[in-house]
């Protein structure tokens, strides 16, 4: 019987987090992913399997090759993936506001 997997189990492992980082920007084949690590291909395959079982990674067939890409809907279950983008701008704007408040009092 297949073990039940959840996203939190998936991200508990540093290698799996590194795999997520790799495929976050582009779809990759299992061998391209494995090349980025010192671990054996079997070890990486196992990690990919776990990430796929919890639906963080999705398979895409292109010709004879299988590509894996990140499933953003599932990523939202961990934390809304837009949140870091929002934080980036929020921090910039907070800084802008603080600087201009001082600018006002300097005058």
Q: Which is nearer to other proteins, 1 or 25 (CB)?
A: 25
Both tokens assigned to 91: 């921090």
Q: Which neighbouring-strand residues pair with 69?
A: 58
Q: Taking CB under 8 A as the rule, does residue 93 contact other proteins?
A: yes
Q: Taking CB under 8 A as the rule, does residue 12 contact other proteins?
A: no
Q: Taking CB under 8 A as the rule, does residue 100 contact other proteins?
A: yes
| CB of 74 closer than 8 Å to CB of 7 | yes
Question: 58 by DSSP, 3-state: which?
Answer: strand
Question: 68 by DSSP, 3-state: which?
Answer: strand
Contacting other proteins within 33-62 (CB under 8 A): none
Which residue ranges make up the site for other proteins (CB under 8 A)? 14, 17-18, 20-21, 24-25, 70, 72, 75, 81-90, 92-97, 99-101, 103-104
């Amino acid at each position: 019987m297949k073990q039940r997997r959840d996203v939190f189990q998936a991200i508990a492992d540093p290698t799996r987090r590194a795999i997520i980082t790799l495929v976050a920007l582009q779809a990759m084949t299992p061998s391209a992913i494995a090349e980025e690590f010192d671990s054996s291909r079997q070890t990486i395959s196992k990690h990919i399997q776990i990430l796929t079982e919890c639906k963080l990674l999705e398979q895409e067939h292109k010709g004879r090759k299988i590509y894996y890409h990140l499933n953003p809907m599932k990523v939202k279950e961990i934390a809304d993936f837009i949140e870091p983008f929002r934080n980036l701008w929020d921090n910039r704007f907070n800084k802008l506001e603080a600087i201009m408040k001082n600018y006002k009092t300097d005058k």
